[in-house]
A and B are shown apart, each in its own frame.
Chain A
Amino acid sequence: MTASIQIDRSPAQQYLLRLGDTCLILGQRLGEWCGHAPIIEEDIALTNMALDLVGQARAVLTHAGRAQGYDEDQLAFLRDERDFFNPTLVELPNALGGHARPGPGDFALTVLRNFLVATLLKGLWTRLCESSDAELAAIAAKALKEARYHQQHAADWVLRLGDGTDESHRRMQAALDQLWRYVPELFEADAVDEAAAAGGLGPRWADLQADWRAQVDEVLAEAGLTPPADSSFRSTGRRGVHTEHMGYILAEMQQLQRAYPGGAW
């Protein structure tokens, strides 16, 4: 097995890794749908989005790793769990407790999460187009086009299922009830975001909250879905402290490179 790499935990590095890891881990989750989506057309759509996200992660991780002498693969496959900084929302499995259907997960939860995250990433990439970091700004300009489509596609599903049959509404509302508690973490201010904002690298994620909430509320209202009451629970993925699900996703993702270092095909 290849030993893990040690990473620079400076605020700027953590800021970039939060972004890259968000794309990487959600891309990995969406990849689990490959070959299993309800219809073949949506199977292709979800897989396209997974590949878009992995492509964005590659660009950001390549950029983040350069200063430390690591490439994208080393950062993706040789970091330990505590050195990943994605919010908990994206690492959750495609189905949460109570979902007893076969297959890779709960389609309602999958499209709702895509909607919540794509709305966030759309806002984030928009702001990052003006980053003081020219390479990050260029990555953002390309990624924004993809994120806009992801957001439209996911919002469309939230509307269709939320405002569809009694059964589809019930499932969407259940997904919203399950995921909503992982939302506050997205917008928590901390020293990493402060440093990025002060240096012009990118916005505090907290600065994106008002816009995000307005867009999300509009779609949820049209879909007839109601967010549950806010809770005091705070997930901590962006600080590198993950749920029990993260180890499994990393094991699957990293196993090959750990067992066959530098393997390529």
Chain B
Amino acid sequence: MSETATPNEWPLWEVFVRSRAGLDHKHCGSLHAADAAMAIQLARDVYTRRLEGSSVWVVKSADITASDPGDKDMYFDPAEDKVYRHPTFYTLPSEVDHM
């Protein structure tokens, strides 16, 4: 939904939460809020109630530029038959497990 579609609604924000493992922030959903400060508070309340997070990012949905679904074929399908891009052709020393 775009910000201008419904003038009486607050803008939409995308929420990214980092789990306590200290990994990367992962997208977990979206919410409506009047500004960034409110979005952070509400993200805390909506998306970290069950100990999911140790850090929250929010970004206005309107500020995200996404790839065009119509470009999906030309963007992503050509990677399908490029198996040589995966590092599976090396012979590993036996001491190196689970590479």
> When each residue 36-56 of chain B gets 1 if its CB lies under 8 Å from chain A and 0 otherwise, what string results?
011001101110010000000
Which residues, 37 to 61 on A, are CB-close (under 8 Å) to B? Answer: 39, 41-42, 44-45, 48
CB of B45 within 8 A of CB of A48, answer yes
Closest residue of A by beta carbon distance from B34: A160
CB of A156 within 8 A of CB of B34, answer no
CB of A44 within 8 A of CB of B45, answer yes
Closest residue of B by beta carbon distance from A157: B38
CB of B34 within 8 A of CB of A153, answer no
CB of A48 within 8 A of CB of B49, answer yes
Residues on the A chain within 8 Å of B34, using CB: 160
CB of A41 within 8 A of CB of B32, answer yes
CB of A45 within 8 A of CB of B42, answer yes
A41-B31, A41-B33 given; A156·B46 CB < 8 A: no
A156-B37, A156-B38 given; A45·B32 CB < 8 A: no
Size bin of chain B's contact surface: 10 to 19
Closest residue of B by beta carbon distance from A51: B49
CB of A156 within 8 A of CB of B32, answer no
Measured CA separation A125–B34 after assembly (Å): 31
CB of B42 within 8 A of CB of A42, answer yes
Closest residue of B by beta carbon distance from A42: B42
CB of A156 within 8 A of CB of B41, answer yes
Which residues, 1 to 44 on B, are CB-close (under 8 Å) to A? Answer: 10, 31-34, 37-38, 41-42, 44
Residues on the B chain within 8 Å of A41, using CB: 31-33, 42, 45-46
Closest residue of B by beta carbon distance from A153: B41
- From B32, B41, B44, contact of A39 by CB (8 A): B32
Which residues, 113 to 138 on A, are CB-close (under 8 Å) to B? Answer: none
Shortest B21–chain A CB gap in Å is 21
Residue among B37, B42, B45 with the highest chain A CB neighbour number at 10 A: B45
Which residues, 191 to 229 on A, are CB-close (under 8 Å) to B? Answer: none
Shortest B46–chain A CB gap in Å is 5
Measured CA separation A104–B15 after assembly (Å): 30
Measured CA separation A160–B33 after assembly (Å): 12
Measured CA separation A46–B82 after assembly (Å): 52
